[in-house]
């Protein structure tokens, strides 16, 4: 029981800065600039806390009693981030676009980059993944509604 409480409290404290950053309003500046800031937020958080995140995930997978809690916590955090990205893309993209689906695609790229970095620290491949994320963001920005 104590071990579970310690696990949950430690992980909650780890992700609190990211959660607080998401709660902060991203309402200053044009949507394209905010999109870049939101991408940078994810990438800086996952880079800064990489080892801790990797350790918690490994711990939860090996100690199965924490798995469900960790998964639901991570999915909740993803939903919050998805909401922030969707809001920004809905301002950026022309009517008729699906900002939620495009935001989800961007999150998949970011998650993939983070997970692959755990297995492949090659600088060249890290740059390729980073370039792919930036290319996706650039495509979204090119579709910007002229009124944005």
The answer to whether residue 30 is domain-embedded is: no
Query: Could you report the per-residue pLDDT of 123-147, keeping only the tens digit for each?
Result: 888 899 999 999 989 988 888 756 5
Burial environment of residue 143 by CB neighbours within 10 A (0 to 12, 13 to 18, 19 or more): middle
* 142 compared with 7, residue with greater pLDDT: 142
Domain residues for the domain of 53 are 2-25+36-142
Region 79-91: mean pLDDT is: 93
For the cut 70, the answer to whether the pLDDT of residue 44 exceeds it is yes
- Measured from the Cβ of residue 140, the count of other Cβ atoms closer than 10 Å reads 23
Tell me the whole-structure pTM to 2 decimals.
0.85
pLDDT at 119: 86
Structural domain count of the chain: 1
The answer to whether residue 103 is domain-embedded is: yes
The answer to whether residue 48 is domain-embedded is: yes
The answer to whether residue 51 is domain-embedded is: yes
For the cut 80, the answer to whether the pLDDT of residue 120 exceeds it is yes
């Amino acid at each position: 029981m104590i071990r579970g409480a310690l696990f949950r409290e430690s992980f909650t404290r780890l992700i609190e800065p990211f959660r607080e950053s998401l709660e902060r309003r991203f309402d200053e500046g044009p949507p394209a600039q905010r999109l870049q800031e939101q991408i940078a937020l994810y990438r800086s958080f996952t880079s800064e806390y990489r080892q801790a995140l990797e350790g918690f995930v490994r711990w939860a997978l090996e100690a199965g009693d924490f798995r469900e809690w960790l998964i639901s916590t991570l999915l909740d955090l993803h939903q919050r981030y998805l909401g922030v990205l969707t809001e920004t893309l809905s301002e950026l993209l022309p009517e008729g676009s699906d900002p939620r689906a495009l935001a989800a695609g961007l999150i998949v790229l970011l998650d993939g980059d983070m997970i692959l970095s755990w297995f492949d620290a090659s600088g060249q491949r890290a740059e390729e993944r980073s370039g792919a994320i930036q290319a996706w963001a650039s495509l979204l920005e090119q579709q910007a509604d002229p009124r944005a």
